[in-house]
Amino acid sequence: MLQGKTVIITGAASGVGAATAALAASQGAQIISIDINRPPEPIGEFFRADLSSQASIDELVNVLPAGADGLANIAGLPPTRPAEAVVAVNLVGLKYLTNRLVPKLANGASIVNIASLAGIGWPDEKEPIQASAELGFSDVAAFCKAYDIYGARSYFFSKEALIVWTMQNRWTWRERGIRMNAISPGPVETPILKDFLATLGARAEEDTRIMDRPGTPADIAPVVAFLLSDKSGWIRGTNIPVDGGMSSHVLCKTHGY
């Protein structure tokens, strides 16, 4: 499905990123793996980068080869990390890297962002999301203070804003055939699942009680691979829930169904 394509994958050292790299490689893709940590067994060519640092991203973009057919933005921090770091990596760094890389991507490339079920409340957060549109690395601390973004709220906000940014860019690069979509997983058994459980407390316990099981990286990676492939060519600006039905559950409860 990805035969002959070159795919850039951030967060490739573990979890969903590692599973996506392995699956894409098995489908014939050439992999460029990016992470702040070196994978135990890197797939394809590995580049280290810190997505909380503009300088690190600039250095990365300068050395990456041109002509990649896909970019999977999977790297992210959990809500146990400081709020400013979460917003910097999950939103500001992701957007900055993507915008820097677009000129180097091949025509017809696909960009896939990993959002989250945690971002489902985006329709109610218009003011801070709009205020974050041009947010730079040096502005993150003041922004978080101005909009009371602290603790677990940093993770929820970063994913809300990412979903909106994905939708807004439905046609941004249409003339070049470059498309962008997002995936919103529910709780997934990865090394940072314990961080979510520790932070979300009663919310996490309720979700666990309702769900049949947490997801696994193997549940998410095939959807990323599909969106990277030519078979998804007319899917643009869409956020696909991959959460065992949790988003449908939340929406039905919210709207009284």
Residues with a known catalytic role: 155
255's tokens: 């709207």
233's tokens: 């060519």
Q: Where are the alpha helices (DSSP H) in the chain?
A: 15-26, 54-63, 83-87, 94-101, 126-131, 140-146, 153-168, 193-200, 202-210, 217-228, 246-255
Q: Which run of H or of E encompasses 70?
A: strand 68-73
DSSP 174-241: GGGT-EEEEEEE-SB-STTHHHHHHHHTHHHHHHHHHSSS-B-HHHHHHHHHHHHSGGGTT--S-EEE
